[in-house]
Every structure is written in structure tokens, then in C-alpha cells.
A = this chain, B = another copy of it.
Amino acid sequence: MRLSRAFLPTLKETPAEAQIASHRLMLRAGMIRQTSAGIYAWLPLGLRVLRNIERIVREEQDRAGAQEILMPTIQPAELWRESGRYDDYGKEMLRIRDRHDREMLFGPTNEEMVTDLFKSFAKSYRDLPRSLYHIQWKFRDEVRPRFGVMRGREFLMKDAYSFDLTPEGARHSYHQMFVAYLRTFARMGLKAIPMRADTGPIGGDLSHEFIILAETGESQVFLHRDLLDYDPLSEAPDYNSDLSPQVEFWTRRYAATEDLHDEAAWNAVPEAERVSARGIEVGHIFYFGTKYSKAMGLQVSGPDGAMVTPEMGSYGVGVSRLVAAAIEANHDENGIKWPDAIAPFKLAILNLKVGDAACDALCEQILAAFPDDAVYDDRGERAGVKFADADLLGYPWQVVVGPRGAAAGKVELKRRATGEREELSLEDALQKLRG
């Protein structure tokens, strides 16, 4: 992608309304633009990150055996009357009347709709277990939306729903998602810790939040050091096996948000193992039994012919929120430091002297080697502007091509995360970037 022809607008000044680092950086980097309070358009750079995150979420949901569907954004109010949540939900629900004066709403979540959907197809125990998920825009009419896409009104969420014949089956489905979430966030280069959570308005008796650690996080969290050191990608899970041992590794060690913090239990953790940090919630999973299946009349015939009300759980990942959370966890005073797996482009090619034949030729060669993964800064701007923009936008690698080096066939490679630089021949640089 050539910057001279791209729609990747950066801002020199930070808009006054942005209070947190990710919001400031996303606006300055031209990733998003607010179109109404708490509602954003995603510009090309931001959209690429959003799609990378979405792809990882999807791959890990598929791997865990969940099946993708897509429910609409607009839901009928009747569904929410059946569950009793239509009145409970309050003003956060965006209520709508269509041209025939029918009561509709912009879905904030989908327990009701997926239960109704599943009901129309599942007839027998042979149709269970199933986990269904979708990745769709949701709306929550926050009274004071702020912090950019961290707490927007229209936001992209992955929500999955499990249907099981028995509580034991439902617990296994819960464990599958628990493990899938650990892998999902780890693949994004993020350290996420599951913490026991309140179930809130979803209901149920088992729930975990997944919290990304970030110095600028929204809330205080407390955890055992073991949980920081473990790498969820160190082994590939067999989702058909009993996943209790993996889950127990996480749940038997102390980990709590401020809300559920228990001083006595905390003090029982050896002092050297205690980690107190800031965190951002990016996922939330719930097991709530028959709360929705019962209210909405979902039943299947069991192996013995008797009707059974399936056990359900729901599992959310804040896809658009993760873009901001990843920045909170990966930035410095100069800008964003994207983890490789979610970076909008893998590298930026900085041509310090556009028009110099050697510089231009070298840059074109690099661009040709990474046609989809490189941004080529071919603008007629000063070197300082190009350096600052590349640091701000946070591409994992910068390839700096200046006239002196280019004459000798050399480029400078900079790793954004560490600041390390080295001068390399074009060949060695390409090999390193491929590796």
C-alpha cells in the first residue's frame, strides 16, 4: 500500500475529547473517526486491525467446535418479553418502532434470539451438544459514552451460546470456551487472565471475566504470579477430552478484580507470588443453566423419550474493544507498538529520499516482496515526519531506506517494540522480515 495513494490520514494534534491513551492514539493514527457520540467509523488502518482480531477469534471458535451463524442487528421486542428482560434492560437498550409501529430493538446481546432459533431446529437429544456463535455489531445506549471504542455505543462483539443435555455437558462446553479464550488472547500477543466474576443481568451461577493486563487499565486486579508465567499456547488442547485440569490450573490460583477481591484469601498467597496490576475486561463467559431455555420453551426429547430442557451458557468477546485494549497494553510516548499477529501491516518502508533512483528501486523491491503486508511511505515529506508517523502507527518493523545506504544496497531495519536497529543488506533484511 503506497501512502501517496492511501486513505490513511494521521492527525498532528490530539483531539481534546480523548482521555485515555488508546483513544488518543486511535484518533491520531487515523484508525477511527467518531460519527455520533460513542459511534465510530473505522478507517482502513483501524479496520485491518479489527479484521485481524476477528479472524483470530473466529479461528479459535471454530477450533473449539463452535459453529458460526449470523443473527441480525434488529430484534423483535416480543422475544425479550418472553425472557422477561425487555423491561429489565432499561435505557441501555435502543428501542425502535418500525413503520407499522411494531416494537423492535437493536440487539445488545442475543440469548433470546439464539434460544428461539435453536428451538425451531433442535428436536432430540441427538441435536445436542451444539455451540453457535456470531460476530455482529451490537448497541448499548450508554448514558455517557467515552474512551473511544473501549466503551462505544455501537460495538462489535463475538457471542457464543452452548446447548447441552446435562449440567456436566454444559460444564464441558464452558471449559471448551474457557480454553479457547486463553488461546484467543494469547495469539493476539496479549496476556489475559480469567477471573471469577459476578453473573449480573445474564444470570447463572458460574462466570469468568478475561482481563488483559495493561498499566493504563480501567480497574485494579490481583493475581498469583504463576498465572502470569504460563503460556496458553504451549500445548494444543484436545477439545473432546476432559479440560478440567487446564481450567483448574487457572481457577485454583488467586485471581480477582476489585469487585470480588477477598483480602483474607489474598493474604494467604505468599507475598512474593502476589501481583497487583491494572486490567481491562475483554471477555466474559457465563453458565446459566436453563434460565433462557425454560423461559422460552426450548425442549428436546431425551434418550428415554422424556422431554429435557437444555442447559445453556453464553460467551462474549469484545472484538472492537480489543483493538483499544491491545493499544493500552502496547504503546509508549511515541505511539502504538502492535503485536505482530494483529498489526495492520507488518512493516513500513520509509523512503527518505523519494526521487533518488537507488532509494526508489530498493523500496519497490521490498514492497514487491510484501505486497499485502507493507505500507510504503512514498510521500514527499521530511524524514522526521515519516519516522514519527511510523512510530505512531506502530508497525512491528520499519525498513528505513536512505540515499547513502541505498547506494551500497543497504537498509536499516528497526523493530518498533524494542527500538533495536541494524543495518543490513537488502537480502538479509528481507530474510529477517520473512522469518
Contact = CB atoms under 8 A, between A and B. Distances in A.
Interface stretch (A92-100, A272-280, A406-414): A92-100
B74 A36 contact: yes
Q: How many chain copies? A: 2
A107 to B, nearest CB: 10
Interface in A108-123: 113, 116-117, 120-121
A267 B6 CA distance: 48
Interface in A305-342: none
Interface residues of A, number: 50
A377 interface: no
Nearest to A70: B42
A254 interface: no
A69 B50 CA distance: 11
A132 B45 CA distance: 13
Interface string A72-109: 11111000000000000001101010110010101000
Nearest to A48: B68
Interface of A: 5-7, 9, 30, 33, 35-37, 39-44, 47, 50, 65, 67-76, 91-92, 94, 96, 98-99, 102, 104, 106, 113, 116-117, 120-121, 130, 132, 137, 139, 141, 143, 153-154
13 contacts: A5-B130, A6-B67, A7-B69, A30-B121, A35-B117, A39-B74, A41-B70, A42-B69, A44-B68, A92-B99, A96-B106, A99-B141, A106-B106
Given A35-B76, A44-B68, A72-B154, 18 more contacts: A7-B67, A7-B121, A9-B121, A33-B117, A35-B72, A35-B116, A35-B117, A36-B74, A41-B69, A42-B69, A42-B71, A47-B68, A50-B70, A72-B137, A73-B137, A74-B139, A91-B99, A96-B106
